[in-house]
Amino acid sequence: MSALLDTATVVLVSVGALLFLAGALGLLRFPDTLSRLHAISKADNLGLGLILLGLLPQSASIAGGLKLVCIWLLAQLSAATASQLLARAVHRDRTER
Amino acid sequence: MALFDLALVALLLMLALRVVVEPDERSAIITFLAFGLLLGLAWVRLAAPDVALTEIAIGGGVTGILLLRAEAALRGRGKQAEPATRTGKLAVAAGSAAISAGLGFAVLTFSTPAPTLAPAAAQALPATGLGNPVTAVLLAFRALDTLLEKVVVLLALIGVWSLAPDALWGGAPDLKPAAVPGPLAYLGRVLPPFGVVIGVYMFWVGADAPGGTFQAGTVLAAMWLLVMMAGLHPPPDTTRWLLRLVLAGGPILFLAIAFLGFAFADGFLAYPKALAKPLILAIEAALTLSVAAALAMLVAGPARKAPAR
Q: Where are the domains of chain B?
A: 1-71, 132-309
∠ CA B107-B110-B116 to the nearest 5 degrees?
A: 110
On the CB side of B298, how many CA atoms lie within 13 Å of its CA? 26
Q: In this model, does residue B41 exceed pLDDT 80?
A: yes
B45 confidence band (pLDDT: 50, 70, 90)? very high
Mutation site, B184, B219, B226, interface A, largest A CB count within 10 A: B184
- C-alpha A6/C-alpha A58 separation (Å) is 8
- C-alpha A91/C-alpha B26 separation (Å) is 20
The stretch B207-231 carries a mean pLDDT of 89
Give how far Cα B27 sits from Cα of A71, A82, B183, Å: 28, 18, 25
Asked if A77 has any chain B CB less than 8 Å from its own CB, the reply is yes
Asked if A71 has any chain B CB less than 8 Å from its own CB, the reply is no
Task: Work out the percent of chain B whose per-residue pLDDT is above 70.
Answer: 98
Mean pLDDT of chain B: 88
Judge whether B37 and B56 are in contact, CB under 8 Å.
yes
Give me the pLDDT at residue B79, please: 66
Kindly identify which residue of chain A lies nearest to residue B180, measuring between CA atoms: A85
Q: In this model, does residue B309 exceed pLDDT 70?
A: no
Q: Tell how far CA A15 is from the center of its chain.
A: 12
CB contact under 8 A, A74 and B186: no
The stretch B38-46 carries a mean pLDDT of 93
Give me the pLDDT at residue A60, please: 81
| Range with top average pLDDT, A27-31, B39-43, B113-117, B280-284 | B39-43
Task: Work out the percent of chain A whose per-residue pLDDT is above 90.
Answer: 20
pTM: 0.87
CB contact under 8 A, A81 and B194: no
∠ CA B107-B108-B112 to the nearest 5 degrees?
A: 95
- C-alpha A38/C-alpha B13 separation (Å) is 30
Residues of A in contact with B182 (CB under 8 A): 84
Structural domains of chain A, count: 1
Judge whether B125 and B136 are in contact, CB under 8 Å.
yes
Kindly identify which residue of chain A lies nearest to residue B190, measuring between CA atoms: A77
B7 confidence band (pLDDT: 50, 70, 90)? very high
SS3 B106: helix
Give me the pLDDT at residue A34, please: 86
Asked if A66 has any chain B CB less than 8 Å from its own CB, the reply is no
Q: Is the peptide bond before B113 cis (omega within 30 degrees of 0)?
A: yes
**Number of other residues whose CB lies within 10 A of the CB of residue B44:** 16
More confident residue, A76 or B308: A76
The stretch B120-148 carries a mean pLDDT of 84
For B72-108, write each residue's pLDDT tens digit: 888 877 666 667 788 888 999 999 999 999 999 988 8
CB contact under 8 A, A78 and B191: yes
Range of A27's domain? Answer: 2-96
The stretch B26-39 carries a mean pLDDT of 92
Judge whether B293 and B247 are in contact, CB under 8 Å.
yes
A37 confidence band (pLDDT: 50, 70, 90)? confident
Give me the pLDDT at residue B244, please: 92
Mutation site, B68, B186, B187, interface A, largest A CB count within 10 A: B187
E strand segments, chain B: none
- A81: closest CA of chain B, how far (Å): 6
Sign of the C-alpha dihedral, residues A48, A51, A56, A60? Answer: negative
On the CB side of B44, how many CA atoms lie within 13 Å of its CA? 12
CA-nearest of B286, B154, B302, B133 to B216 is: B286
Give me the pLDDT at residue B201, please: 92
Residues of A in contact with B184 (CB under 8 A): 81, 85
Asked if B191 has any chain A CB less than 8 Å from its own CB, the reply is yes
Give me the pLDDT at residue B127, please: 79
Asked if A74 has any chain B CB less than 8 Å from its own CB, the reply is yes
Judge whether B220 and B189 are in contact, CB under 8 Å.
no
- B154: closest CA of chain A, how far (Å): 30
